[in-house]
Amino acid sequence: MRLNSDFYTLPAVSAAPLLLGKILCRQWNGQNLRYRITETEAYAGENDSACHARFGKTPRNSVMYEPGGKAYIYLCYGIHYLLNIVTSWENEPEAVLIRGIEGFNGPGKLTKELHIHRTLNGLDLTVSDELWIEDDGIQFDYIKTPRIGIGYAREEDRARLWRFVAPRNASR
């Protein structure tokens, strides 16, 4: 069953662990690609110095200010597209970075495998026939760790245990 808009109104810190075990689906070139989500990270708005919304609304992050359920996709280091799931309410810019799926650890690797690129930015995951998330009732246990690659953030934000990892993927 496809996740509906009610799920996406959750705060990012609540939605991130719940996304583990869900199925990330991508319709591409006549294929229905489906992978279980194994790793996520939460980013919680303008007060989170690791979040793209930390400096307020910009053309790059404007989709984060929309109601939850949108895809927020951006280019990282000029190389990899990264997929974030916007959560929470309109004008509360929170998102969950999808860091891993079964068989593909790393946010750039998974977007390459699923042919996810910036043209999908802003897509409504509740109705899209190109990209969506399903729940078949499978839940993964997880561990919590600090987020990765946010050395620019304040110490307290770097220390937050907002990375959620299915145990078999935790060793990377």
The CATH number that applies at residue 22 is 3.10.300.10
Domains contained in the chain, number: 1
Three-state DSSP state, 144: strand
Chain segment 108-142, per-residue pLDDT in tens: 999 999 999 999 999 999 999 999 999 999 999 99
Chain segment 142-151, per-residue pLDDT in tens: 999 999 999 9
User: What predicted TM-score, i.e. pTM, was given to this entire model?
Assistant: 0.94
Q: Strand pairing partners for 163?
A: 41, 145
Residue 151 structural domain: 5-169
Q: What is the largest CA-CA distance in the chain?
A: 46
